Structure 1
């Protein structure tokens, strides 16, 4: 056979196959006798014979052609393939038709051929450039619904199509020749011609899907965490809210719990949507960060936890007033000038900002400045004015916001007005002989407008009176016995009202120009003995004032300055610390010649 005729032979075989497929499909669908008569032109009395002959003839041709197309790969050595394309899906009452395409890599020529039985074969179309032949076809007869009311059996072509689509071998059945099934399995494109007829009975409506199971409740919280902050020892922080809602189905019956003593929840349970108030009580909590958890539970729902954080910070250090010095004192004279101002410093001994102010409670005291911020210095000024002589006190109060007040005590001493003192004479001079009589007393006139006092710095000098007010006279006596031979000097001081005046005193004590006498005696043994007194006279028993006072422990005395031609008499007494004096001792005498 010529190579150019191979495609045409193949097309004829395919047309026969298409005719057989249509007949098989009609057989599976129950073609009527009238249909068979129209297709074959035979009498209607023998529809079965016509159908069987058609099946037989087509099956035989199919078997031969399929063997040549399928079993011999050499048919495609030149790159020749065949494809059957139905024009539609065949259902009851339709005439199957379509196109058979044969593709080869060589040019082909058209060769007329007779149509197969039960088919019409149009002249092939030749494409010299592509080597493709398209052969339209249509099958005689149509696919009809079964005459029986019973449920239609599945067409054999359905099984064949399924097998062909899967790439396997179509199962054999009484209505489908084994060769056809084998051909369709090896040529999947042929399965498009084999379609299960569609029943005219409308399909049953689909069953409704099963109802989904009811959804469980689900806890939804907002916010998902809480954070509180407060100062130690301060006020409790504001309460915070947690919204509870049902994010699922059913009914949400929830309860809320916490694990911290400082945390309180209200309400602790509820149904459906709700709000939980979280309240914090600081109590005695120290500085630090505290953690807790709020747990919300509900039947049938997963538990949700809300972390809670409480931060307690240290209270800020308040300001504190520091003062230096902590007290002030002033002094002045009545009617005199004001004393110099004095200052004290204010500092912040704590934290924060020290905003201070000062005040006092005395009319004679003035403060400047009266307020300030931070460190500062305050000047205190006192005014004597009409204040009389006395000691005055006042208090300066230093106050500051957030700090304890501090005080500064003030003392102001006002002395009496200035006193004028005039003394006359301003010097005194005395002379005496050792062992002789004391010189006569002298006087000092005091002129003053105030009080005064008089003092002496010499033991051999005595003042009387020692004080006075206003004008007065001071008597100055000399005890030569306690003075040393030679020049003795001393000072009398008169003071009053801040004024001081002095008088210089000189005593010249000369040595005696005659002999002397030494007295001795036995010591007094009394425990309170203070000393001894020596008496001298120029006549027996005529004793006046003692000429000398001897301290205890001394039991002798040298009497000097005895004048020649005179007899002297001596006695000794003892005196105690209370001033009590004993009687005279025995009298002794000495005559100086």
Structure 2
């Protein structure tokens, strides 16, 4: 009888475990929808032809993105590689509602002839697509001034340096285009200052010299381009930034190491200062010939100590400490030293 009772308990336990397993399967966590069960990418129209346009014109069109069928929201992103095209918005979410996408083209700088651009549409599983735009740039029946680009920003730059950029001038019409450039700022030079074009692109070099310009000031210059095919402007601007003033101080020897101080006496933080301590000469250098590193920041008015690796050697050597920073010119200091195996005398 005892054995029979034990068998009933065992059977009941098995049934209980099976019931738990079934419940676990039927009430488990919801499964992530497969790509096939998601909504499908829909968009209309599939393309747009802007037709005939002249160089230097702007035009726009709109297409819609939405989702149909399936479950869940559709997330989309738009990418393209044509600099004369802009798209807004570049991403979005739809649960079925239509999202309007504005595509704008700027024909400034385009040569006459056919131009096309594919805007890639990618989604989170609802399929991908391409919206194509095309335009035909027509030639004028007279000389026509074309300039590209028409502006340039040099950014925040240092005083007492020179920087350059280029833009192109050409004739997008017929015949011969004659042009002349003029400006009023003494810190700008342009070469060449005049020319002719029957269609070929003429590169124009623009150089700025920031010597004597005031820190924390924004400077602008308009270069006027006058021609027998119309007039245009090239605009440039930049800001003179405050700069750090870093220096190398107190190069010292001692047991095993050479240490020195990097000081910033300027009125701006020094960012990403690369440093190097190098030993050279006729002495015997067993260890520590070169050590390098980077100081992430030396705040204005503060200093940081840097150290070589372990140095072992004998006799006379030359110690060179260098600092490199994008905000300032390279800095270099040299000292003679004598190695007494693990002691460095400077």
TM over 0.5: no
**TM class, shorter-chain normalised?**
0.3 to 0.5
TM-score (norm. length: structure 2): 0.37
Q: Which has the larger radius of gyration?
A: 1
> Which structure has the higher relative contact order (CA within 8 Å, separation 6+)?
2
